[in-house]
Amino acid sequence: MKWIILYRDALEKTAVSTQEMLKVHDLEATILPIQKVTDLEDEDTNFLLKNATHCVLFDNSLLLEDNTAFFYGYLVGKVKRFYSLTNEWSKNMEFFNNVFLFSGEDALCKALEKQLVTIKEEEKTRDAFSNLFNDGIPYTADCFALYINKGKLDVCQRFIDAGISINCRTEDGTPMLNVAIRAEQEECVNWILNHNVDIDAVSNDRGYSAVMDAVWKNNLELTKVLIERGANLNFTSRDGQSVLVLAVGAGNYEICKLLAEAGADPDIKDQMGMSALEYANLFGKKDIAQVLQKYHKA
């Protein structure tokens, strides 16, 4: 962001204090006396006006016929936000969405400071979107998923900064957490879990939650991470499978033990009327059956 603060001589102190306030928020601003605005031969002034993204005007006596009015109109047309004291000229600008008018400098400064967090967030979003665009990266959920699949966290963060939801889905309805689980990108999984994600969102293709995908991948560590983060261990998929039924089918003793100890119910029956414990007995998986038996409700 490139802020420019324009002021009439009597308001120089206010301009300087506003510059200091912006500096506290890590925003750089240049202050410029009004009489320099029309100095077209001054290259520095021309550069500032052409590159300004935000403007503050401390002039409470500007008239419509004032010779600086044209330059202010030019700034209104190009900057993202234009803050001004109310005067004869500014009253004619209030229909612009980016113009904010105030009856006094104190009111202007207080309102500006309150809006700075929002302004910085908006700028961060615009910059991230522009960076994606400039690098030829489409701003789509499928492309977001592609970079999650690759474990490219720097690019993934740019999608978030640009405004995409961590709870968005691919075109086939796969949540981003499931994408990371299926790709076994542990760092990405932890990153996603730190972003207010719906941990129990269900994919449209398999009807699996994230923890079911971790079990399906036979990934003990990812299963453990999801358990620690509070995943629902008694969810049943679209075809009626419980997480434990899926784990028994995979024959993974450690995952079955981990799930049972964490509260997964071994007695939930699937569409065939079979439970995880019953499958373990049916398939002769004695070690798993022994673990599940401890949590069986007679």
From the list 112, 161, 124, the residue with the least C-alpha distance to 3 is 112
- Residue-wise pLDDT tens for the chain (298 aa)? 789 999 988 899 999 999 999 999 989 899 988 887 776 567 777 787 788 999 999 998 888 888 888 888 889 999 999 999 999 999 989 899 999 999 999 999 999 999 998 888 888 898 899 999 999 999 999 999 999 999 999 999 999 999 999 999 999 999 999 999 999 999 999 999 999 999 999 999 989 999 999 999 999 999 999 999 999 999 898 888 999 999 999 999 999 999 999 999 999 998 889 999 999 999 999 999 999 999 888 6
Residue-level pLDDT at 245: 95
Residue with tokens 């499978």: 241
From the list 122, 5, 115, 129, the residue with the least C-alpha distance to 56 is 5
Q: How far is 269 from 279, CA to CA, in rounded Å?
A: 10
Residue-level pLDDT at 106: 94
Q: How far is 80 from 77, CA to CA, in rounded Å?
A: 9
- Cβ atoms of residues 119 and 156 within 8 Å: no
83 forms beta bridges with 56, 100
Query: What pLDDT, in 10s, does the model give residues 7-56?
Result: 988 899 999 999 999 999 989 899 988 887 776 567 777 787 788 999 99
Return the axis-axis angle of helices 69-78 and 43-51, rounded to nearest 10°: 40
Residue-level pLDDT at 126: 87
Residue-level pLDDT at 39: 67
Residue-level pLDDT at 40: 58
Residue-level pLDDT at 170: 96
Exposed, middle or buried, 217 (CB in 10 Å: 0-12/13-18/19+)? middle
**Tokens representing 195?**
């972003």
Exposed, middle or buried, 199 (CB in 10 Å: 0-12/13-18/19+)? middle
Which CATH number, 3.40.30.10, 3.20.20.120, 3.40.50.300, 3.40.50.360, labels domain 3-125? 3.40.50.360
Q: Write the single-letter amino acid at 124.
A: K
Residue-level pLDDT at 44: 75
- Cβ atoms of residues 76 and 99 within 8 Å: yes
Q: Where are the domains of the chain?
A: 3-125
For residue 145, the tally of other CB atoms under 10 A from its CB is 24
Residue-level pLDDT at 275: 92
Q: How far is 30 from 32, CA to CA, in rounded Å?
A: 7
